[in-house]
Structure 1
Amino acid sequence: MNQRSRTSLGIIIVAATILVALIGWGAGLYIDWLWFKSLNYQQVFITYLASNIGLKILVGIIMFALLLLNLMLTRKSVLQAVEASKAFRPMFEDDNVITINYPPRVDWREQITPGRLTAVFAGISLLLGFLYSSTISGEWTTVLKFFKQTAFGTNDPIFNKDIGFYIFSLPFYQLLYRLLASAIFLNIVLVALVYLLTDTARGGLTKIFRFPAARYHLSVLAALFFILKSWGYRLDQYFLLLSSSGVVHGAGYTDIHASLLAYRVLTVLSLITAAVIIANIFLKRFRITAYAIVGLLVVSILLGGVYPSVVQKFIVLPNEFNREAPYLANNIKLSQQAYNLDTIERKDFPAGRTLQAQDILDNRNTIENIRLWDWQPLQQTYSQLQEMRLYYELKNIDVDRYMINGEYRQVMLAVREMNQNQLQQQAQTWINQRLVYTHGYGVAMSPVNEVTGEGLPNFFLKDIPPVGPTDIQVTRPEIYYGESDDGYVIVNTKTKEFDHPQGDGNAYCLYEGTSGVKVNSFLRKVILAFVLTDYKMLLTGDITNDSQVLLYRNIKERVPKIAPFLSYDSDPYPVIDSKGEIYWMWDAYTISNMYPYSEPFDSRGNNYIRNSVKITINAYDGAVQFYIADSKDPIIQTYSKIFPNMFKTLEQMPDDLREHIRYPEDLFQIQARMYTLYHMTDPQVFYNREDKWTLPTEKYGNEEKPMEAYYTITVLPGEKEPEFVLIMPFNPQNKKNMIAWLGARSDGENYGKMVVYEFPKQELVYGPMQIEARIDQDTVISQQLSLWDQRGSSVIRGNLLVIPVKDSLLYVEPLYLQSEQSRMPELRRVIVAAGDKIVMEPTLDLALQKIFGEGAIPGKQQEPGTQPQTPTEPTEPVPQDTVKELAAEANRLYDEAQAKLKAGDWAGYGASLEQLKQVLTKLQEQSQTQ
């Protein structure tokens, strides 16, 4: 194969590769269009496509035009250099050498013509323009937000510009500056390279500024670059308000009195440098140009680096607080605004109050909703009891509240999803994975505080089909869309679709939704097979024109594909509506890293967040709805302008779903962490960190871990009705006692309101780890825990909950036992602490009775279908004390009492006798049951 053939083959291969890539891109685009259309979000898709592709095309065309223009300006010099090089022919004389040119040698310089040179320049410009346009992928939202921006109504304290300028305008200007600066720089490099080559072709000494054309051309480009650099310095001054170099985030004394001055001086010097460069085109004094550029560089180092360091060291540090006080105040004020901390209501919570039995009776709605089940042990128990088949999986346990049989109850629930990876190996065929096992089925639900006699959850909904003793019914239990990663499936085919196990066989169903991409022609089937890289779709005869392909069934992939510009909570949760259909609810956030003076909450520098959107996803048909939860947020207002038909108001959400919106835990954790510092509003106190709080820790299992925020139903101090509240306690810095607790409300008109209850600083309120220490130091409890850990089982200490009851606190920690032979934790004890008393009993009611007496527990009739809460004798492991153990404990207490009597410790003697009496009572009870 000769050189020409190889070249032609290479061109064909490249062209074919480009063609296949274009076909693949177009096919994927077509399927995405069909998918967006099936969800009625085709307008969103068009906006995204038009702005993303349109922006790339616009940038590519501009770059192409700039490159071609500058290259064409060099064309005359190139052609002159070629002509000049033809006259430069080295002569070799040798009488003894005969040179034979066969075939005749072709001079490459003869091939360079004006037309061909223009074509080469156009090709280079087109290629570089295309590559350059790909660098702005994802910037379409920056452009659209600039043109559709909404004012915040609040100005920054330094430049007096609306916050919207920093959120919307400044990122756009920075993008524009980056594009123009890199474009000019690329043109300078390319043009300089062309002039360098042409000068070499002339046989010169590579002094490209010898020729007027090169001198004029490069000088103009350099002048444009420094004019643009002047604008860049002006933009940089606004970024000072996002500086992290001072005592707090945002511009400090040095930034305002040194760095800002430097940027303003450099702005002017850059313009002067550009003028000098233009002037020297005619003056031809290139040393002056060099001096101007070097001078600008030296000034930027002195003013931008050395001078701020001197100011910081000799002016700020000797008197730091007085210098930084105004900027500390700016940081406090704007950080509170960025996280909505300025809306938190502050109230006093009395300390030292002792709960009485009547207080427990008056707050039974709080007591009956104390969460005794933690999601981690409960997930293992759910898996053992309710997954039913290998291919089902209860991925997550979520917390919510429902009106159940007329009572407001807090529950835990999980959706039973399909996990095809858990099918038997021989059953993992294409037919089974794509056509048969297409969906999960049903929900498991249990109250947070009830336990059967075996220490297991008392289910409100269980089994397949889901049934239970309450008025909650599930009429559409099929789960086609959830948190599993089973990929796409094809429904409405000739193959029977598995619905759920039924007796010794299976029940089958037909999908009734319309959310899939319809396979209504052979061409569409080919396109789908190509996009999904699944050739088996073309070979099977089970797919008909009525079949649908369900794509993006994982909601964590489905929703962000529609709205990639939002950030999402880590925990979507299922909801059962009044019609018995299952929905997923998911919180979404608008965030920014451009809020001036605000302290960042993550490593990416994000320093503004709002829970602006609530999302519902139908678990059966995958329909997605976006509801604006915070209409005051300017960012979501801007997105509403960009996508006018995408968002609905929260009032448009069905009432039975709106009852289940809750304050999101991720946002609450961020706000709580920021509030540990930004509850201080006095700059002096803030600077010295005199009243810094910390988030508490707790003992979970056998490890000390950061305490997680928790939901509970309680009556807040001063309120009359129970409500669903998210709570986080606070510790003072370097202390373990509790200083305050923060609550976020979720119900009705109070949704989104936050209140912090602060304790008197001069009184002791036990913090979570202090309660944990008291548990460890209690001889009866610690001995019992050690005993259980040695009897073929392990003890799991659950989350410690601090429950506000009236104007006092109740501490509750569940204990689970797990056998070595079975990973199914059982709730066997509840530890309750109130005031100076701490007890451990089989149930919460018994523990409260032990502390507050018989009057704390009302005589309560069991509802039909519920199980008694008094544990019966388990088989494995045995949580009750055996007769032998109780006898040994009685002997120990008797000896201890005698020793204290001899020592004259009458108080200790009485306490030992009281404990001995309790052990003897248990011994009597055990003897009667055996």
Structure 2
Amino acid sequence: MKRFIWNPNRGDWAPQEGENRPGRKALHGLSLAALVISAFLLFAGGPTLVTFLTELLWYHEVGASQAFWIRIWPQALLFLVASVFSFLALYLNWRPALTRTALPDEMVLSSKTQRRLLFLAALAFALFQGAGARGHWEEALLFLNGTSFSVDDPLFGKDLSFYIFRLPFIAFLRQWLQGLLVLAFGGVALLSALGGASRGLQLPFPLSRTEKRHLSLLGAAIALLWALGFLLARYDLLYSPRGVTFGASYTDVFAELPALNILTGLTVALALLILVGLSRKTWKYAGIVLGLWALANIALRGAYPGVIQKYVVEPNEFQRERPFIEHNIKATLTAYDLHDLTSTAFEPSLTVTAQSLDANPDTVRNIRLWDEDTLLRSYRQLQEIRSYYDFGGVDIDRYDFDGDYRQVMLAARELDLTQLQNPTWVNRHLEFTHGYGLVMNPVNEVTTTGQPVLWVRDLPPRFSVPLTLERPQIYYGEKASSYALVRTTVHEFDYPMGEGNARTTYEGKGGIPVGSLWRRILFSLRLGDSELFFSDALTKDSRILIYRNVLERVQRIVPFLIVDGDPYMAVVDGRLLWIVDAYTATGRYPYSEPVNVRIGRSARSINYIRNSVKVTVDAYDGTVSFYAVDEKDPLLRAWRKIFPGLIQPAEAIGDDLRAHLRYPRDLFRIQGEIFRTYHMGDPNTFYNKEDVWTPAQDRQGKAVDPYYLMMRLEETSEFALISPFLPVGRNNMISWLAARSDGANYGELLLYRFPKQTLVYGPAQIEALIDQNPEISAQLSLWSQRGSDVIRGNVLVIPIDRAILYVQPLYLKSENSDLPELKRVIVASGNGIAWAETLEGALTALVGKGAAPETPVASSEKVLPQAPSLSGEASALARQAQEAWEASQRALREADWEGYGRTMTRLEALLRSLVEATAEEPVQAPAAAEPEL
């Protein structure tokens, strides 16, 4: 083995004289390796090319070719620039290091082979770096196109656009460059070590002056990027979870922030001293600074913040954290679009009167009697017509029928290919291609058999209202999951008709032409379906419909938006349109409280959201249209700059479409979850969590989902989404939140607060009082004994002027059938509980026009019976009634419902006896106190 010695005059290594060189060991099979790599790339890249070409054709079909290329070019450019830059940085650092090591040719490889391998290694690492950069195309585009929020953060005074649009990409660049320099440094160090090892030197290998200079320069550059990391970490304090609230806390500002500033300075000093060491030929001072840096990192970022938190903050937590709580409340309300909410004190009149019902006819005749799940069962039993049809879900909307403004429920009749009796390839893709029509009913009308009154029904659709449908076929929907081939030699099934079936041929503009041979090959490969290629049914006019699922179709065009998971159908200008809500969101809003959300197919943590875009998808031809409904949103403004022309302005929304836009439930749920705590604007109240709310709950403890209803908020009735709230740990209502959906008021949030000294029952309390009603309880037991399933509908809380009306439908379902029947309607208010077979009958009984109201259910005070000055038997009865009343209240406080029922029954009997004994006017039963459930 050849030995090398250090030559101090040359400052380099030199072989000892007289040593024999080992024989050269050449590489074999380089050509074979190149062939294998090429075959692998072709095999791996083939499917990618097929996917690319078919995606390009689809984007062209939906008119979004520009959006496709805007996504592709930044990715390609980032990959190319990052790869080239990485290759040059690595190769230009490693090649001189390889030359300086002077590895003997005969030791392992020839010099030429060494250079080739070095080139391949640099290329491989460069491609890896390029692939990592490619995935940050959205951050790069937002960095270049971000718009101002016109709001500064309270700590550093920077516009929020810096944190949301610019900081993410800057942080990525710093991390990416630091990783690249670490690779370069590691390669140079490794080559230097290999050179020493090849010469038979013992550890530690001495470095030449050139090697020291090279490694020092790389080390100084890494240190500077490290310092930049500490500098940027200061801004991350705005997302700190350390304190009472999210965002920079007292400890972050007065302990963590100074620590980061000191570490930034020490790291910069370390980089400078590394460079100074080059001229002085010593790194002693750099080593001292490195030691100080390590100690400072442990002390300042570990121990010091903990000491400040424990001994400065915790003993005086509210005083220390108050300004930061204020920052958090303000930022959170703004980020979730709750800052402009209108709050109003609601002084309830606990009794619903005939006058109030007469003054609100639109509200009364649009009271919903059908729960969505129950109505879906009825639809499936009554209107599926054939087993291969299905209704994916029930939607709630409103229509103006020649001046008659009505709330309706509807569902699209879609095709369910899993239920085909003969699921051949032709049936699945050529013949059964679409659903047909829809079913619609008013929310409050019932047939004599307890079924919904259908305004749109049957096949082909029959109408009882002034609606027209140009194209009832549904090629694109919620349940469509596979591709369809249209304009083939196979006539498509349209709908069942008598003994046969109606047939049709697709006439829409949707779909990608697949008449040519190469396109048939292309889509056969893409879909993995050889029958598409070999089928004789395709003609030169044939088209393939892909991405027919509404949510998937929208999400592929706008991957930067969160797409709502509940599209709803509307009849707009004679066509069936799916309306989809889309959201801009981020988790980078400083000081705003984050929440984990699941919207549609997206699950992520966010702390800012806007329903900025409305989307429509034509159910017949698949046309997708995007409309900006919140043009002030900075995130939407940035995306519209990136994708010009993709999202149309709000002015492009037609009047017929605008009449069907509604405030989305998913957004309302998120806002409700935030507002249950952040309605407390006072920092002290917020800190102590004195007035936390929770969504209203039913008797099973399940949260009441926000629901749509028609109600009069101002002069006229309007379509709104509401959610009642309860105090935590209680079941009485404390407030309700409404989101408006009609006209110029769309998007306004209204909060109505009940006085804390007034008892307003929540849904669970109403259900408890219904259970205690002897007549209702007995009838429910009787139905159950007869083999019927009693389905209790949701309790709806409906404001009628200043009164609160509670409505709960009751359904019966036979054990042998899945068809529910609306059997009774229960209504309740301050003047009692009543029920009847119809809503009108129940309301009549409640307000005293017909049957007497049942047990009273709401009062701001606990009314105790007054014992008159009587003697004898009457006085004894009065005393016993007083005792029974007190016993009932003890049972309530102890949640002894059985005991409460017994004592109330005894009280009722005693009062009847008292009436008979005194022969006076009837004595009213006392109002029930608040059930403490």
- TM-score normalised by length of structure 1: 0.87
* 1:176 to partner: Cα distance: 1.1
1:505 maps to a residue whose letter is G
Tell me what 2:674 maps to. 674
Question: Which of 588, 598, 605 in structure 1 is aligned with 2:582?
Answer: 588
1:232 aligns with 2:229: yes
- Equivalenced residues, count: 844
1:67 aligns with 2:90: yes
* 1:791 to partner: Cα distance: 1.9
SS in 2 for 1:412: strand
Change (3 A) 1:544 1:840: same
Tell me what 2:99 maps to. 76
Question: Which of 562, 565, 568 in structure 1 is aligned with 2:563?
Answer: 568
2:621 maps to a residue whose letter is D
Tell me what 2:872 maps to. none
What is the Cα-based RMSD across aligned positions, in Å? 2.5
Tell me what 2:443 maps to. 448
2:641 maps to a residue whose letter is K
Give distance in 2, aligned partners of 1:567 and 1:620.
24
Tell me what 2:47 maps to. 24
* 1:809 to partner: Cα distance: 0.8
Tell me what 2:552 maps to. 557
Give distance in 2, aligned partners of 1:751 and 1:505.
47
Give distance in 2, aligned partners of 1:569 and 1:191.
52
Question: Which stretch has the larger CA shift, 149-158 or 132-141?
Answer: 132-141
In the TM superposition, what are the counterparts of 1:245-644 in structure 2 within 5 Å?
245-424=242-421, 427-578=422-573, 580-602=574-596, 604-644=604-644
Post-superposition CA distance 1:257-301 (Å, at most 9, x none) = 011101111111110011122222333434543332232122111
Larger RCO (CA under 8 A, 6+ residues apart): 1
Give distance in 2, aligned partners of 1:907 and 1:28.
90
Tell me what 1:796 maps to. 791
* 1:897 to partner: Cα distance: 10
Contact kept? 1:357, 1:856, Cα under 8 Å: no
1:49 maps to a residue whose letter is I
Give distance in 2, aligned partners of 1:908 and 1:178.
91
* 1:198 to partner: Cα distance: 2.0
SS in 1 for 2:182: helix
Question: Which of 131, 134, 147 in structure 1 is aligned with 2:131?
Answer: 134
Change (3 A) 1:909 1:261: farther
Post-superposition CA distance 1:678-710 (Å, at most 9, x none) = 1111111111112222211113xxx33111000
Give distance in 2, aligned partners of 1:914 and 1:824.
41
Give distance in 2, aligned partners of 1:829 and 1:238.
60
Question: Which stretch has the larger CA shift, 297-306 or 595-604?
Answer: 595-604
Give distance in 2, aligned partners of 1:901 and 1:609.
58
Tell me what 2:776 maps to. 781
* 1:786 to partner: Cα distance: 2.4
Give distance in 2, aligned partners of 1:144 and 1:903.
82
Post-superposition CA distance 1:743-795 (Å, at most 9, x none) = 00000000011110111111111112211221122222222222222221211
* 1:899 to partner: Cα distance: 5.9
Structure 1: runs of 5 or more not aligned: 84-106, 858-891, 916-930
Give distance in 2, aligned partners of 1:898 and 1:267.
80
1:646 maps to a residue whose letter is L
2:648 maps to a residue whose letter is K
Change (3 A) 1:759 1:914: closer
2:703 maps to a residue whose letter is P
Change (3 A) 1:808 1:16: same
1:55 maps to a residue whose letter is L
Give distance in 1, aligned partners of 2:568 and 2:583.
16
Post-superposition CA distance 1:654-695 (Å, at most 9, x none) = 211111000011111111111111111111111111222221
* 1:913 to partner: Cα distance: 12
Give distance in 2, aligned partners of 1:661 and 1:440.
24
1:900 maps to a residue whose letter is L
Post-superposition CA distance 1:100-149 (Å, at most 9, x none) = xxxxxxx554x422x43332222111111112222245421111011011
In the TM superposition, what are the counterparts of 1:643-792 in structure 2 within 5 Å?
643-699=643-699, 703-716=700-713, 719-792=714-787
Tell me what 1:42 maps to. 65
1:589 maps to a residue whose letter is Y
Change (3 A) 1:852 1:128: same
Give distance in 2, aligned partners of 1:261 and 1:226.
19
Tell me what 1:835 maps to. 830
Give distance in 2, aligned partners of 1:586 and 1:396.
14
Give distance in 2, aligned partners of 1:912 and 1:529.
84
1:391 maps to a residue whose letter is Y
Give distance in 2, aligned partners of 1:371 and 1:751.
22
Give distance in 2, aligned partners of 1:499 and 1:691.
58
Give distance in 2, aligned partners of 1:241 and 1:533.
49
Contact kept? 2:415, 2:480, Cα under 8 Å: no
SS in 2 for 1:187: helix
Give distance in 2, aligned partners of 1:600 and 1:41.
33
In the TM superposition, what are the counterparts of 1:109-188 in structure 2 within 5 Å?
109=108, 111-113=109-111, 115-188=112-185
- TM-score normalised by length of structure 2: 0.87
Tell me what 1:200 maps to. 197
Question: Which stretch has the larger CA shift, 394-403 or 131-140?
Answer: 131-140
1:585 maps to a residue whose letter is I
Tell me what 1:102 maps to. none
Give distance in 2, aligned partners of 1:334 and 1:276.
43
Change (3 A) 1:262 1:833: same
Tell me what 1:860 maps to. none
1:632 maps to a residue whose letter is K
Change (3 A) 1:605 1:305: farther
1:822 aligns with 2:817: yes
* 1:9 to partner: Cα distance: 5.7
SS in 2 for 1:343: coil
Give distance in 2, aligned partners of 1:51 and 1:379.
46
Change (3 A) 1:387 1:6: farther
Tell me what 1:190 maps to. 187
* 1:818 to partner: Cα distance: 1.4
Report percent identity of matched pairs: 42
Give distance in 2, aligned partners of 1:206 and 1:705.
70
Contact kept? 1:818, 1:826, Cα under 8 Å: yes
Give distance in 2, aligned partners of 1:856 and 1:172.
71
Contact kept? 2:831, 2:846, Cα under 8 Å: no
* 1:901 to partner: Cα distance: 7.3
1:538 maps to a residue whose letter is F
Tell me what 2:74 maps to. 51
Give distance in 1, aligned partners of 2:312 and 2:772.
54
* 1:907 to partner: Cα distance: 10
Change (3 A) 1:488 1:108: farther
Question: Which stretch has the larger CA shift, 303-312 or 400-409?
Answer: 400-409
Give distance in 2, aligned partners of 1:739 and 1:692.
10
Give distance in 2, aligned partners of 1:607 and 1:329.
16
Give distance in 2, aligned partners of 1:724 and 1:231.
53
* 1:334 to partner: Cα distance: 0.8
* 1:202 to partner: Cα distance: 1.4
Change (3 A) 1:633 1:616: same
Post-superposition CA distance 1:569-596 (Å, at most 9, x none) = 1211001013x21000000000010101
Post-superposition CA distance 1:519-555 (Å, at most 9, x none) = 1421121112111211112211111121111110001
* 1:20 to partner: Cα distance: 2.7
Give distance in 1, aligned partners of 2:912 and 2:560.
76
